[in-house]
Amino acid sequence: MRFMLSLAAACLLACCPFASAQLPLDPLSKPAPSTNPFTSPGPTPEVAFLYSLEAKFERDTTAGGGAAFAKWFAPDAVMLSNGKAPVVGQAAIAAAADWSPTQYHLTWTPEGARMSASGDMGFTWGSYEGRSKDRDGTPIVTAGRYMTVWKKQPDGSWKVELDASNDAPKADDCCRIQ
């Protein structure tokens, strides 16, 4: 009998570290959010946050034109446009974005986003469309793809660090490999 009690005590002592390592179950706690798009089809809170930044950025740009567009850029930001030299710095971006909302109407739609693990940088990508008129009043529509890199600033605000865009291919050039 003493042998059986000793054996039971030894088993209990051996299992104690595993028992204490097990996390207690809390029936009122919510399950961890899933990042699986099949079980959780909505955007993560981080992606939703980046989409909300994009919506505010676009709304300001629609209302205020190039001046409002440029205010969203960090002091050391870079803007890359299809076939053009990089524009470096918020002041240079503001000088390049000299359109009024009546001259040029820029809209865009984010299609995806990612946030860094640290939560202080993220990027979005999607499609854009610009509408203007030439000297004769003929409508001009430009369209393409964009990518915006966002960075949290020391004051807690979020600014654009990099904005890159490229024109959509011409209809007859869509699917040809160069």
Q: How confident is the model over 126-155, as pLDDT tens digits? A: 999 999 999 999 999 999 999 999 999 999
Decide if 70 is inside a domain.
Answer: yes
Q: Where are the alpha helices (DSSP H) in 22-164?
A: 45-71, 90-96
**40 domain residue, yes or no:** no
Look at the chain and report how many structural domains it folds into. Answer: 1
Q: Domain of residue 112: give its range.
A: 61-166
Higher pLDDT, 42 or 88: 88
Q: What is the pLDDT of residues 83-97, one digit of tens each?
A: 899 999 999 999 999
**Under a CB-based contact definition with an 8 Å cutoff, are residues 51 and 43 in contact?**
yes
CATH number at residue 130: 3.10.450.50
**What span, in angstroms and rounded, lies between the C-alpha atoms of 12 and 53?**
55
In-domain check, residue 113 = yes
What is the per-residue pLDDT for 168? Answer: 86
Taken in order 112, 59, 144, 148, the sign of the CA dihedral is negative
Whether this prediction's pTM lies above 0.75 is answered by no
Is pLDDT at 7 greater than 50 in this prediction?
no
The answer to whether residue 34 is domain-embedded is no
